[in-house]
Amino acid sequence: MKRQAIKWAPLALIILTVAGLMIMGCQAPVSLGKTGTVRLQFNTSMAQSILPPISMDVVEYLVSGAGPQGSTYGPELFTGSATIEDLLPGSWSWTVVGRNAAHNDIGEGSGACSVVIGQTAVCNITVAEYESPDGSFLLDLAWEPDIVRAPVWTGSLKDYAAAVTDLAFTVNEAACTAQSLADPLHVGWYAMVVQLFDAPTGIDGSEVLSTGAAAAVRIAAGRQTHGDLFLHAVQGFGRVDLQITPDFHDELALTPSVPFGDVALYLEVPMAFSVTADETCTAIYYLRGQQVGVDGFTALAENQLEGEAYRLDVVAFNTDGSRAASGTWRLTNTGILGTVSAIFTWNGQGGGQYFLRYYNPDDSYSEIAITATNGPNSYEIMLPGAGTYRFAILYPSYGLTEFWQEAGTLAAAAPVAVALGPPLTLNFGEITNH
């Protein structure tokens, strides 16, 4: 399996400053005035990922050094910047181990520098996450009983280099559970895709996709990442609830063109989905676990059953594969023709000429002249698009002077948001035409 090259942010910076002090903690004898000082500065680069069982947050550093004439330093623990004094001049090598709050070693780096009396030596050390030994991935799946007659699971893990690891599942039909173990796996990020088929005769083209899911998965050195998913399957349509735990390398901060969550689709109105992130990324879109687009996807209500919720997942990676994130929409066909309109209703006390007016955000307006009746009135007007409007009913008063009518449940000057979908009903209550 091809290993992924992973870049890590610097975690430690060692600055050495020479001073005339006696060396402490070194084995070789020294003379006064011929020793040096080490200044250690640690800058922790926080990162986040999903599911590794231990914390990948560095909270302490174990520092060891080896210098001239057999002198040594440490190992000593530091939680931040520190000064190490009384070091012999000459060549020094340093090893820094990053640890989490449970004192687990999670990364290491090394470097060398030369201590010169009266000068400052700088030694840059990058503490990177361990890339060996390999880790593993354990996936537990469950679904509701009495829904899928012949469950067959398929799945895969794909790393940034496009190397694919197929997931083999052990299925317990009576308990409605399945499990897969991928061991070993090299350290890094993966795109996981799993699908549940109703397949009485196996995967032979006659199977029916019941549900599926996609997510970003991260493997840590020498550790087992565990995923536990429950899927709701109804006649091939389903839902996956993903529990994602942030750890070490930050997840991409995704900004969707349509907010994640429930999204209503309207007939004859295409809905385009896309995401951007806090850095350049590639986004893959999966509808019920089936890949449907790269860097964008357009959904149509006509392509799904009315009233059914379809899961749309997006999994995004940055350009070097060191960060990833995923998000989910639930798409529902409302069965409603997409329009933007408002219905004016009022109870007229006296019929005659009325004007229905709406103001655009720039305060321009349009109005429609109608003849109203004495009693209940209802009139629908089409708006130029979704947005925020102000609505009013006007009618000639004494001397044909127009003025606002603000009676009833709607104040004429109050802005109202109008969205795509069913008409917005505006009830003006009782209006008396003087």
pLDDT tier at 409, thresholds 50, 70, 90:
very low
Element (H, E) at 162: none
Query: Closest Cα partner for 228 from 194, 199, 251?
Result: 194
179 with 108, same domain? no
Instruction: Give the β-pairing of 120-125 and 90-99.
Output: unpaired
Alpha helices in 43-145 (DSSP H): none
Task: Name the residue with tokens 């083209």.
Answer: 205
pLDDT in tens, 187-243: 888 999 999 998 888 888 888 888 888 888 888 899 999 988 888 775 544 456 766
- The pair of structure tokens assigned to 14 is 């060692």
Q: What is the CA radius of gyration of the chain?
A: 33
Between CA 426 and CA 345 the distance in angstroms is 6
Q: Which of 94, 113, 129 is the last residue of a domain?
A: 129
The CA distances from residue 213 to 141, 147, 264, in Å, are: 11, 18, 20
Beta-bridge partner residues of 109: 96
Query: Closest Cα partner for 266 from 294, 295, 306?
Result: 306
Structural domain includes residue 174:
yes
Between CA 64 and CA 228 the distance in angstroms is 40
Would you give the end-to-end CA distance of the chain in angstroms? 85
Structural domain includes residue 21:
yes
pLDDT of residue 65: 92
Structural domain includes residue 5:
no
Q: Is 45 exposed, middle or buried (0-12, 13-18, 19+ CB in 10 A)?
A: middle
162 with 243, same domain? yes
pLDDT in tens, 9-18: 333 344 443 3
Between CA 330 and CA 367 the distance in angstroms is 38
Q: Which of 289, 316, 337 is the last residue of a domain?
A: 337
Between CA 323 and CA 406 the distance in angstroms is 55
261 with 153, same domain? no
296 with 228, same domain? no
Whether the pLDDT of residue 19 is over 50: the answer is no
363 with 320, same domain? no
Q: Reduced to 3 states, what is the DSSP secondary structure of residue 236?
A: coil
309 with 319, same domain? yes
> Higher-confidence residue: 375 or 296?
296
**Which of the residue ranges 162-171, 238-247, 316-325, 379-388 would you say has the lowest mean pLDDT?**
238-247
How many separate domains does the chain show? 4
> Higher-confidence residue: 248 or 96?
96
E strands within 130-174?
135-143, 151-159, 164-166, 170-172
- The pair of structure tokens assigned to 224 is 């087992």
- Residue 238, CA atoms < 13 Å, CB-side half-sphere: 29
Q: Is the CB of residue 393 less than 8 Å from the CB of residue 367?
A: no
Residue 211 φ/ψ, nearest 5 degrees:
-165, 175
- The pair of structure tokens assigned to 138 is 């354990």
pLDDT in tens, 248-276: 678 899 999 999 999 988 887 788 999 99
186 with 294, same domain? no
Between CA 238 and CA 210 the distance in angstroms is 7
Q: Is the CB of residue 77 less than 8 Å from the CB of residue 105?
A: no
* Side chain identity at residue 237, one-letter code: F
Query: Closest Cα partner for 242 from 48, 47, 49, 50?
Result: 50
Residue 70 φ/ψ, nearest 5 degrees:
75, 10
CATH code where residue 28 lies: 2.60.40
Q: Which of 217, 248, 279 is the last residue of a domain?
A: 248
121 with 153, same domain? no
Q: Is the CB of residue 59 less than 8 Å from the CB of residue 100?
A: yes
121 with 172, same domain? no
Between CA 150 and CA 141 the distance in angstroms is 15
CATH code where residue 325 lies: 2.60.40.10
Whether the pLDDT of residue 415 is over 50: the answer is yes
pLDDT of residue 400: 39
102 with 197, same domain? no
pLDDT tier at 312, thresholds 50, 70, 90:
very high
Query: Closest Cα partner for 340 from 405, 417, 394?
Result: 417
Residue 302 belongs to domain spanning: 252-337
- The pair of structure tokens assigned to 312 is 């749309």
Between CA 60 and CA 82 the distance in angstroms is 12
Beta-bridge partner residues of 313: 286, 328
pTM score, whole prediction: 0.44
203 with 236, same domain? yes
188 with 294, same domain? no
Alpha helices in 89-171 (DSSP H): none
Structural domain includes residue 234:
yes
